[in-house]
Structure 1
Amino acid sequence: MKATPLSIEGAWLFEPTTFADHRGSFTAPFQGPAFRDALGFDLTVAQTNRSVSARGVVRGVHYADVPPGQAKYLHVAAGAVRDVVVDLRVGSPTFGRVEAVDLDAASMRAVYLSEGLGHAFQALADTTVVGYLCSTSYTPAAEHGISPLDPALALPWAEGVEPVLSDKDRAAPTLADALAAGALPTWEACRARLAQLRG
């Protein structure tokens, strides 16, 4: 498995090998040893999630309070997505930076996002299935969102595909409003969490 850091610290792209023969194919989208070699610690999995989305559906931008935060490792089991990472960590050298990666069921590429990073995706095909490994369980009071249509972020959603949002995501604040409200995680808290994970 190939592991490549993205331009936002704490975000990684993992590319597994697919083995195909006359029966079909086999892929391991998450491999513990490869993850540990890349990041220096094991991924704790407290919850697994599965979402099914119609073409155009946007989920996010979501993040959790740090500590403890919620790291995510996700791949597409069916269909395809435009996956977006946003650095929401106040004080980070890349605060506000956005990076997008296209993921699909054919390549089985996966993205890892550390605690404090914002995450969103847009389904590019009907019945797109995304599987997530989450480092902590869902805690409603600690979960937050940023508007995926924030004009200042200008997230790179697919051209010609109308975004379909939940009421909650449509009502989420802009990055500037969340910053002004003191609702974002700090770079210091996220770095402390990383140091704790690495022992």
Structure 2
Amino acid sequence: MHFRELAIPGAWEMTPRLHGDDRGMFCESFKASEFEKATGRPFELHQVNTSVSAAGVLRGIHYTDNPPGQAKYVTCVRGAFLDVVVDLRPGSPTYGRWDSVLLDETSRRSVFLSEGLGHAILSLADGSTVTYLCSLEYSPEFDRDMDAFDPTLAIDWPTVGIDGSPLTFLRSTKDQLAPQFS
């Protein structure tokens, strides 16, 4: 597996080695020993979530109060997503900055984000499916949201899907009403 730290410290892109033959494909999506060696920390799993989205569905920006914080390990198992990580850690040198990774069923890339980072995903194809491992069980009392279209963050959201067709953004009411970064 190849690890690359994103422009946001504490966020990593992982690209697995794909082993294909006439039967199909195999890859190791997560391996604790390699993860710890590359990131310098363990990942303690407490919950696994799966989300299926139509093209244009934008989920986030979501984050958890830190502490306790929630780390996530995100993988696209079908279709494609733009995964966006936002630094929401006051005092961090990259506070308010974002970075993104294309997650799709072809590369099988994953993203890890540490506690204190915000997260959003935009589905780029109908039926796109993402699975994410979480270091903390869902705790509504710590759950927070931020507006994905905040002009201060200026996230460059794509307007076309992987098939070239225009995307119409679809967000939950909760995400539409989320507060601004400022």
TM-score (norm: length of structure 1): 0.87
Determine the structure 1 residue equivalent to 2:62: 62
Match of 1:112 in 2: 112
What does 1:39-54 align with in structure 2 at a 5 Å threshold? 39-54=39-54
Give the aligned partner of residue 80 of structure 2. Answer: 80
The one-letter code matched in structure 2 to 1:56 is G
Letter in 2 for 1:66: N
**Which of 170, 178, 199 is equivalent to 2:176?**
170
Match of 2:144 in 1: 144
Deviation, structure 1 residue 151: 1.7
In the alignment, the residues of structure 2 paired with residue 22 and residue 36 of structure 1 have an alpha-carbon distance, to the nearest angstrom, of 33
What is the match of residue 189 of structure 1?
A: none
Q: Tell me the distance in 2 between the aligned counterparts of 1:102 and 1:114.
A: 18
CA displacement 1:137-194 (0-9 Å, x = unmatched): 0001100000011122121211242211000000000000xxxxxxxxxxxxxxxxxx
2:161 aligned with 1:161? no
- Does residue 1:27 correspond to 2:33, yes or no? no
> Aligned partners of 1:45 and 1:23: how far apart in 2?
31
The corresponding residue for 2:90 is 90
Instruction: Please state whether the residue corresponding to 2:121 is helix, strand or coil.
Output: strand
Q: Deviations over 1:9-37 (max 9, x none)?
A: 10001010111011111111111111010
Aligned partner of residue 140 in structure 1, secondary structure? coil
CA distance in 2, matches of 1:89, 1:150: 17
Structure 1, 148-157 or 9-18: larger mean CA deviation: 148-157
**Shift in Å, 1:126:** 0.3
Aligned residues: 176
Segments of 4+ moved more than 3 angstroms: none
Instruction: Report the TM-score, using the length of structure 2 for normalisation.
Output: 0.94
Q: Is contact 1:100-1:156 (8 Å) kept? A: no
After superposition, the CA RMSD in angstroms is: 0.8
Match of 1:129 in 2: 129
User: Unmatched 5+ residue regions in structure 2?
Assistant: 160-165
C-alpha separation in 2, matches of 1:130 and 1:74: 7
Secondary structure of the residue that 1:136 maps to in structure 2? coil
Q: What is the deviation of 1:114? A: 0.1
Alignment check: 8 A CA contact 1:16 1:108 kept: yes
Q: Percent identity at matched positions?
A: 48
